């Protein structure tokens, strides 16, 4: 039996049953019989067949319903009046299993149309979607397939509205609900699905050999960051400036009097100066390429080379640097930095997961080849140690991967490896377990601190670098713990006196490291309410002792220790042997040793406390007498320490900047400038200039608008009396002291702003530092009288310029700002004897910070991040490659602990390709930024809402509640609307489907293929549409839509082509099948075996579109056209007498 005859047979049976229910001549169920006759008019004149003659008369009503239950009328009542029919209980009660679909449909209609007034339309739509999920529906097409497309239309409208306006991802919607509404992009985000290809390690292994022959990661970073900076080649230029694996361009002008021998010597001298700039480049390269590998490679990580050679034009002959100009001693720490830069490329370890095995770490250990003996019977020379592996181990610790090593491996690396391996291992272990106070690592570090060993073991000769690394490791390991014994120990070590004659050359570095470690252990320890150190450490008198270390005087604790030592001297003959025979400091504190560490310790302990008493401990001098008692470079540290304490008062405004400069310094500096302006062109300027500096660098004509030159009384030089009086009083003034003080304080202000606004991209702070850097640059490069009169010594200027450049880059970290990049390129260009190894390191670090992680990372500004940045970018840079006197070079890489990966990328969920997409970053308080993905999320606020700002993609919104904890790549899956092209294909939006349609370009199939990727729609356009005719304009399609001919002669293929184009234009391809279903219902209405069902569905559709105001899928004008066509059909049917009886019932249904 066919499905088309089943309803009529059932109706025939039910009609006969109703006729048998009689009481005398009265038909008890006549209303039911009339109901069936309305649906099947032919039943009225139908006689009982022999099959039904066996049924007897039933003298009662078989149904308790007051009227015949009708699913269609119940649905229409819900649509029109928002209430159920009283006779709909047959389905809602679920008493009959065969009414399951009717029950689900009634329940869904009840939720959608009979909801309480308090429910908004969006909440109603979302309740419908959740009901569909509970009913077992998975996809959008399942809803249309399970019910009649016409009856399912209101449900599909609700689903479509949820697609346009989905609920937030942090709500209680499951991922399956997003899948149902067609937002599989949000479902992937909800499930935190990683992009495909991120786990493919074989690709990375092959990439090392094929795409990156230098193995430095710069080729990869150029490709990786191309989407961050799509409009220019700035990332290519930055990689070029930080590349150390290729020969330099070496051009030396040769005079006619220079012979070949002298010319070769000149080339070697020029090459040696250029190599001084090459050797520190791995520090900047490590910052640039940090974290650019998505996964751990299978093979050992190749180590890039540091090329110390030049390419001499015009033959491009390669000239290598002579070995005596750069020995293995000179290359030790550059090789260490090279190893760190190589290891920092690895991804950050995921907490709770071990991604690197011990075998892989050990396999990266270089195998040093044994050199053959020069003569028989002679021992082969010992091979030169490899220092890159120590840096590689340090990098593994910074990225959190050293947990895979066994204890035996740790002991072997520390005891049997070279010095750099021991330093790297100890710092790496501490960084890997930062803040955990791990007992095993703590003991390992303490063994390498002589002051923590028994007296009999203190004579063990340990390198000062190892001691500094151990002390720094203790600070990292116990960060924020306020460990009492460790605090007392570090406090004593800051003022440690020289013992014996071992390792006394780097005392400044050791004392500084002790101070920084003390600050880390007690980071932000001061109670914000009491503005003082907590009670557990109050008896140590930390503030008083640190203040004495800063200003000098007699250390009472040391005096007591000496008295106790004197009492035991008679019983111990080794007391005198422990004293140093080279250095005698007496009972006074040597502030040259203790002041830097103590100054930073005060700032870190009272960080963000806002304590005025603590800030007074590091106050700047206010008189000339006080100024003469402080080393100028210590003023830099005092400004930074004071800013750390009064953190909330830091502002990029001119008022705050000028308030940090002492009046005495500002007064005399302004006086120098007025003297220079007055004596311009005269020979008297020589006595006000420290030295005449002539450079071939490009002079910057930027005026010194921020040189702190306020007008004061007596400035108007009407007769010259005021100026002459000041000149006579201060003729004995130390001019160089004022110049140095001004430069160091200016650099300290810049560094404070850099720390405060690190990773924020704050434009005001950037402009403030930018002006100061230009001012210092003009002092360095300028040859005009004013610059010469204000110019301090060149080493001071280079130090302040390097530190200020890093400050500028810290604020704009990861942004690749072109204005800052141009300035940094101009600063690094100078390469002469005055620019030392450390100065080049500062400029390389600044360029690396500007493009941190290739534009995918920025710096954090939490207390732990600030401590790491202070340690890493301490303003005393090494003079030569193996210089660790003032600061351990290995600590330059602790910036990695403050790096935050904040990359926000958009991935098309259908093609799985990374795309360009306009986004909005809403930081709250009306602060909204418009960016193009992939983009960097800066530290603008503590929270952020990311929104899609494009009409080509469906909207989405992601809320990041705690931005400080966000340290990963956010892959934002997006779904492109139908009829739209990506921003790579159509940058200006001139190739959209509407534009192509209006221009009449292309066949239907070609247009559909260009704008949609659904295979079903492509097949529909290929086989079911008219592809021969081309469209002339969009209006033609609309006209055909609104004037469809519903006769048999209608061009169905043309209608299908018009429909699919219109749906693409309206970005709703799901409506295609619904249009075709309605078209078929009306066109072939007379062919229907049960026309009343089609009429009921069209009636419900008419009621829905008359009562609803929130239509989503169908065009209302199209629905009106359908209704008009149905009326025309009835007029046609009633003209024929033979069809009147058949269409009488449907006519009553349609017009009831």
pLDDT value at position 821?
96
In angstroms, the CA 400 to CA 202 distance is: 23
Quick check: 823 and 769 in contact, CB under 8 A? no
Q: Is 97 left (phi over 0), alpha (psi -120 to 50) or beta?
A: alpha
Backbone angles phi, psi at 524, to 5 degrees: 55, 35
Who's near 636: CB < 8 A, 6+ residues apart?
Answer: 744, 745, 747, 748, 751, 800, 803, 875
pLDDT value at position 672?
86
Q: Is the dihedral of CA 479, 480, 483, 487 positive or negative?
A: positive
In angstroms, the CA 798 to CA 522 distance is: 33
Q: Is the dihedral of CA 894, 897, 898, 902 positive or negative?
A: positive
Q: How many CA atoms lie within 13 A of 870 on its CB side?
A: 37
Q: What pTM does this model have?
A: 0.83
HEC per residue, 61-85: CCCCCCCCCCHHHHHHHHHHHCCCC
Q: Is 195 helix (H, G, I), strand (E, B) or coil?
A: coil
Q: Pick the closest to residue 635 from 808, 511, 843, 803 (CA basis).
A: 803
Average pLDDT per 10 consecutive residues for the chain, totaling 1152 residues: 54 67 63 70 59 59 68 82 61 56 83 72 86 85 80 87 87 88 88 63 43 84 89 93 92 88 91 93 96 85 92 90 86 95 92 80 79 59 81 95 91 90 96 94 93 76 90 96 93 85 80 96 75 72 93 74 53 54 80 95 94 94 92 96 95 90 92 81 46 36 35 38 41 83 96 96 95 94 87 94 97 95 94 93 97 94 95 95 94 96 91 90 88 91 88 88 84 85 76 58 61 65 59 43 45 69 71 78 70 81 80 78 81 68 72 74
Q: How many CA atoms lie within 13 A of 959 on its CB side?
A: 7
Quick check: 61 and 21 in contact, CB under 8 A? yes
pLDDT value at position 910?
85
Q: Is 936 helix (H, G, I), strand (E, B) or coil?
A: strand
Burial track 812-838 (b if 16+ CB lie within 10 A, e otherwise): bbbbbbeebbebbebbbebeeeebbbb
Quick check: 301 and 209 in contact, CB under 8 A? no
């Amino acid at each position: 039996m066919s499905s088309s005859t089943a309803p009529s047979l059932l109706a025939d049976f039910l009609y006969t049953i109703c006729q048998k229910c009689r009481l005398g001549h009265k038909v008890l169920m006549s209303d039911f019989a009339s109901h069936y006759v309305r649906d099947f008019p032919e039943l009225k004149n139908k006689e009982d067949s022999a099959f039904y003659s066996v049924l007897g008369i039933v003298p009662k009503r078989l149904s308790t319903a007051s009227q015949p239950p009708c699913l269609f009328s119940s649905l229409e009542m819900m649509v029109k009046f928002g209430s159920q029919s009283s006779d709909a209980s047959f389905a809602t009660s679920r008493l009959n299993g065969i009414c399951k679909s009717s029950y689900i449909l009634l329940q869904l209609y009840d939720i959608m149309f009979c909801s309480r007034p308090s429910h908004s339309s969006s909440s109603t739509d979302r309740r419908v979607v959740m009901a569909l999920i509970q009913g077992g529906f998975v996809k959008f097409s399942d809803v249309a397939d399970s019910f009649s497309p016409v009856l399912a239309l209101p449900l599909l409208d609700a689903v479509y509205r949820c697609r346009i306006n989905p609920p937030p991802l942090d709500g209680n919607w499951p991922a399956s609900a997003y899948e149902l509404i067609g937002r599989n992009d949000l479902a992937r985000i909800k499930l935190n699905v990683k992009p495909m290809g991120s786990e493919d390690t074989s690709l990375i292994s092959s990439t090392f050999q094929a795409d990156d022959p230098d193995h430095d990661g710069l080729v990869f970073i150029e490709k990786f960051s191309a989407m961050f900076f799509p409009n220019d080649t700035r990332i290519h230029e930055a990689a070029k400036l930080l590349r150390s694996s290729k020969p330099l361009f070496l051009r030396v002008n040769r005079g006619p009097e220079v012979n070949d021998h002298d010319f070769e010597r000149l080339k070697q001298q020029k090459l040696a100066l250029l190599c001084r700039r090459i050797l520190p480049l791995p520090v900047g390269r490590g910052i640039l390429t940090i974290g650019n590998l998505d996964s751990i490679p299978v093979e050992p990580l190749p180590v890039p080379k540091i090329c110390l050679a030049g390419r001499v034009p015009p033959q491009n002959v390669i000239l290598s640097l002579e070995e005596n100009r750069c020995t293995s001693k000179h290359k030790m720490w550059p090789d260490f930095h090279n190893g760190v830069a190589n290891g920092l490329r690895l991804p950050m370890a995921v907490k709770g997961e071990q991604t690197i095995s011990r075998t892989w770490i050990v396999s990266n250990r270089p195998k040093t080849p044994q050199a053959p003996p020069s003569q028989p019977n002679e021992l082969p020379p010992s091979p030169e140690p490899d220092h890159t592996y120590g840096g590689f181990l340090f990098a593994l610790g910074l990225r959190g991967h050293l947990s895979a090593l066994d204890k035996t491996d740790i002991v072997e690396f520390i005891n049997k490896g070279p010095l750099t391996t021991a330093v790297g291992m100890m710092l790496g272990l501490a960084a890997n377990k930062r803040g955990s106070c791990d007992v095993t690592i703590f003991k390992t570090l303490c063994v390498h601190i002589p002051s923590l060993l028994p007296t009999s073991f203190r004579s063990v000769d340990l390198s000062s670098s190892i001691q500094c690394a151990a002390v720094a490791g203790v600070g990292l390991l116990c960060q924020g713990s306020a460990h009492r014994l460790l605090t007392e120990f570090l406090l004593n070590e800051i003022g440690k006196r020289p013992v014996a004659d071992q390792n006394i050359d780097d005392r400044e570095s050791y004392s500084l490291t002790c101070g920084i470690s003390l600050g880390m252990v007690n980071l932000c320890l001061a109670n914000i309410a009491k503005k003082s150190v907590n009670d557990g450490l109050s008896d140590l008198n930390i503030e008083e002792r640190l203040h004495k270390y800063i200003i000098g005087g007699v250390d009472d604790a040391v005096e007591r220790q000496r008295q106790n030592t004197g009492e035991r001297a008679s019983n111990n003959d080794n007391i005198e042997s422990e004293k140093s025979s080279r250095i005698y400091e007496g009972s006074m504190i040597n502030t040259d040793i203790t002041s830097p560490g103590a100054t930073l310790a005060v700032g870190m302990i009272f960080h963000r406390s806002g304590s005025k008493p603590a800030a007074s401990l590091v106050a700047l001098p206010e008189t000339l007498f006080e100024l003469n008692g402080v080393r100028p470079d210590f003023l830099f540290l005092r400004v930074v320490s004071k800013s750390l304490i009064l953190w909330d008062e830091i502002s990029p405004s001119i008022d705050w900047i000028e308030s940090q400069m002492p009046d005495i310094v500002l007064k005399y500096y302004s006086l120098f400038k007025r003297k220079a302006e007055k004596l311009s062109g005269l020979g008297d300027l020589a006595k006000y200039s420290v030295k005449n500096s002539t450079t071939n660098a490009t002079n910057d004509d930027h005026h010194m608008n921020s040189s702190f030159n306020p007008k004061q009384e007596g400035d108007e030089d009407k007769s010259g009396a005021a100026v002459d009086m000041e000149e006579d009083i201060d003729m004995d003034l130390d001019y160089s002291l004022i110049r140095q003080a001004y430069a160091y304080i200016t650099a300290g202000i810049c560094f404070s702003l850099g720390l405060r606004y690190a990773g924020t991209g704050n434009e005001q702070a950037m402009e403030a530092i930018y002006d100061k850097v230009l001012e210092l640059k003009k002092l360095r490069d300028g040859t005009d009288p004013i610059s010469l009169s204000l110019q301090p010594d060149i080493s001071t200027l280079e130090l302040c310029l390097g530190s200020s450049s890093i400050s500028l880059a810290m604020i704009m970290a990861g942004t690749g700002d072109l204005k800052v990049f141009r300035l940094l390129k101009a600063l690094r260009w100078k390469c002469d004897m005055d620019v030392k190894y450390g100065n080049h390191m500062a400029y390389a670090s600044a360029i690396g910070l500007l493009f941190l992680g290739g534009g995918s990372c920025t710096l954090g500004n939490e207390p732990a991040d600030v401590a790491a940045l202070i340690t890493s970018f301490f303003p005393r840079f090494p003079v030569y490659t193996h210089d660790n006197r003032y600061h351990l070079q290995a600590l330059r890489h602790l910036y990695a602990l403050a790096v935050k990966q904040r990359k926000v990328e958009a991935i098309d969920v259908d093609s799985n390709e990374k795309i360009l997409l306009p986004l909005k970053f809403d930081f709250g308080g009306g602060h909204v930024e418009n960016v193009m993905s992939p983009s960097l999320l800066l530290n603008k606020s503590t929270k952020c809402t990311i929104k899609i700002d494009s009409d080509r993609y469906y909207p989405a919104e992601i809320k990041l509640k705690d931005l400080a904890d966000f340290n990963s790549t956010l892959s934002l899956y997006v779904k492109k609307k139908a009829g739209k092209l990506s921003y790579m294909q159509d940058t200006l939006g001139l190739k959209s489907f509407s534009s192509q349609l209006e221009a009449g370009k292309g066949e239907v199939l070609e247009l559909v293929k260009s704008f949609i990727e659904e295979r079903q729609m492509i097949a529909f356009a290929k086989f079911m549409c008219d592809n021969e005719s081309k469209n002339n304009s969009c209006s033609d399609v609309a006209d055909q839509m609104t004037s469809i001919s519903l006769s048999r002669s209608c061009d169905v293929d043309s209608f299908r082509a018009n429909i699919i184009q219109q749906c693409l234009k309206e970005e709703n391809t799901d409506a295609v099948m619904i249009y075709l279903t309605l078209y078929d219902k009306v066109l072939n209405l007379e062919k229907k075996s049960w026309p009343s069902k089609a009429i009921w569905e069209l009636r419900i559709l008419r009621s829905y579109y008359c009562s609803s105001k929130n239509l989503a899928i169908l065009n209302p004008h199209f629905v009106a056209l359908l209704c008009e066509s149905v009326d025309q059909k009835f007029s046609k049917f009633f003209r024929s007498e033979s069809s009147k009886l058949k269409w009488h019932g449907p006519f009553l249904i349609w017009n009831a």
